[in-house]
Amino acid sequence: MLQDGGDLDAVVPLNGAGQAETYLWDFFPPSFNCPHRHRLGRLNDGGKVVCNWEMLRAQCAADPHAAVIYRLACAAISFEVDLGQRTGCVIHAFDHTVVGLPQVAPNVAFTLAGLAATDLPPTLFSLPTLTAQRGHDRIRLLKLDCENCEWAVFAELARTGALSVIDQLLIELHFKQAATNAAGPDSGVRDVFDLFEALEWAGLYPFSWEVNHKAGATRMFP
């Protein structure tokens, strides 16, 4: 799959050459062993695997705001409802494309605002701005599904060092090539390698991953 001495621009997402078939995501297997993994929420799109939700419950036992949990983009919130019921934690949900939550969720606090690499008021804000507005200096769990905004957002977070405030990340990645399999500088392959490298520098290593056949590949990091 890697050709020409490891040139990322020569990598194709799927190399189906006989028995040597490889897939881009094969380069990023889980490298952190979390023995306390559970999948919360519905079984299909929307549910996610989380590492050690019991720790969040312990942190929120006396104060539901003790563990800062962010959910960015919330068209479906089965995971948040499940997590809130199990832990008692308040979950901060942000989305600028909907006027409210899709279902009743007592533990989810909704804000009409979206995520971007830099502030674009009145509706789009960077992650550091969202946390500063609420007086949060650390995010225990961040769940993100922002339909392709993740590439610019995480490039900026890596540039500024802001990734270091995240303890656990659940992210759905939307690969740039929706239906093609071409190599080259615009293939999206280099973006994936850059993202994983930045996350590892911030101490975020993959503990689980799955393919969302509807929307692309989902990656989760502790």
Per-residue confidence (pLDDT) for residue 3, from 0 to 100: 44
Class of residue 128 by CB neighbours under 10 A (exposed 0-12, middle 13-18, buried 19+): middle
DSSP string, the chain: --BTTTBGGG--SEE--GGG-EEGGGGS---S--SSEEEES-SSBTBEEEE-HHHHHHHTSS-TTSS-EEEE--S--HHHHHHHHHH---EEEE-SS-SS-SS--TTEEEES-EE-SS-BTTTEE-HHHHHHHTT-S-BSEEEE--TTTHHHHHHHHHHHTGGGGBS-EEEEE--S-SS----STTSSHHHHHHHHHHHHHTT----EEEEETTTEEEEEE-
Q: Which two tokens stand for residue 38?
A: 């559970």
Q: 8-221 — its CATH code?
A: 3.40.50
Global pTM value: 0.90
Q: Where are the domains of the chain?
A: 8-221
Rounded Cα distance between 183 and 14, Å, is: 10
Per-residue confidence (pLDDT) for residue 6, from 0 to 100: 60
Q: What is the pLDDT along the chain (222 residues), one digit of tens a residue?
A: 444 446 888 888 877 665 567 788 888 999 999 999 999 998 877 789 999 999 999 999 999 999 999 999 888 899 999 999 999 999 999 999 999 999 989 999 999 999 999 999 999 999 999 999 999 999 999 999 888 899 999 999 999 999 999 999 999 988 877 777 888 888 888 999 999 999 999 999 999 998 776 644 444 444
What Cα–Cα distance (Å) separates residue 11 from each residue in 15, 48, 207? 9, 29, 24
Per-residue confidence (pLDDT) for residue 143, from 0 to 100: 96
Smallest CA-to-CA distance from 43 within 221, 168, 175, 214 is with 214
Per-residue confidence (pLDDT) for residue 215, from 0 to 100: 46
